[in-house]
Structure 1
Amino acid sequence: MGARLDLLLACDDDITLEICSNEWKVENSPQILKQQSKNLRVNAQILNHVLSPLHDHLNQIIAMDFIGTTGYMYALTKTTDDFFIATPFSRLAIPKKIENLHVFKKTLESPFFYKAFLLRTAKVVKKQAYQKHLECQRRSGLGSFVWSG
């Protein structure tokens, strides 16, 4: 078995909420398909139980899987019928030889797109999580105060 790295991205202020899960596996790992499947299931659960309850428009996760020096980014979208559709949209490669450096350009561009998506998602998640927090406080009476003027 080889080394494997899982990355769970979260936005954190006062509350930690997971935004997506990513995986990196060694090239000769015997469990590649199993790990890819697990990563899809983890991201589906994040969509279903963390993001979607916060806001109707939070119905998509962008994530990545790497196997050795090649990988891909994909969008996992939750449909209105509660199905999940994974769509790969960017091939990623870290070349081992200088002759293959030309394929690295797309790999370098993809993290910038990924960062923009994560920042937009984190902004909505933080705003909606804070709103839910205030609603919970109001319902429990913790957010009430007496005005004397």
Structure 2
Amino acid sequence: TFPAALQRATNEYKKQLYSIKRGRPENLAATSADYVYHGPLVHGKDQLRKWYLKTFSTILNEMDAADVNHWFRLPVEATHNVPDYQKIIKHPMDVSTMRTKVRKSEYRSFKDFRVDIMRMFDNCILYNGRTTVYGQEALRLRDLANEKLIQ
């Protein structure tokens, strides 16, 4: 499920897209006698998807910049000599894979995007442990990602 703040942000964006008040004061009820429907401002799903993709790219850029060691930038099997990684981690995830999914419009919602971000950090913690340097960096970046997703 969506975190409450993320759901509010999505609802606010949808409200902007489907604004029926068009400049009317916020306290004017939509069921008021003064209510006039003017239709959607944009084509909803496509515009919402574009907004998601722009937001996802921004979040990935900020996370990539915060990952000073570049441990999460590429798939583990391509950058490290860890033969047992595939046995322990069944669904690997990294920033470059997420960027590809953003470009291909594979994310249909914040929930899908958030699942992959959390999977990336949870995989790191599962494989390396919480108390390792890698685990501590994963926790730090996971907190940063949560903060960005809630904004």
Q: Could you tell me the TM-score, scaled by structure 2's length?
A: 0.30
Q: Could you tell me the TM-score, scaled by structure 1's length?
A: 0.30
Larger fraction in helix: 2
Larger fraction in strand: 1
Higher relative contact order (Cα pairs below 8 Å, separated by 6+ residues): 2
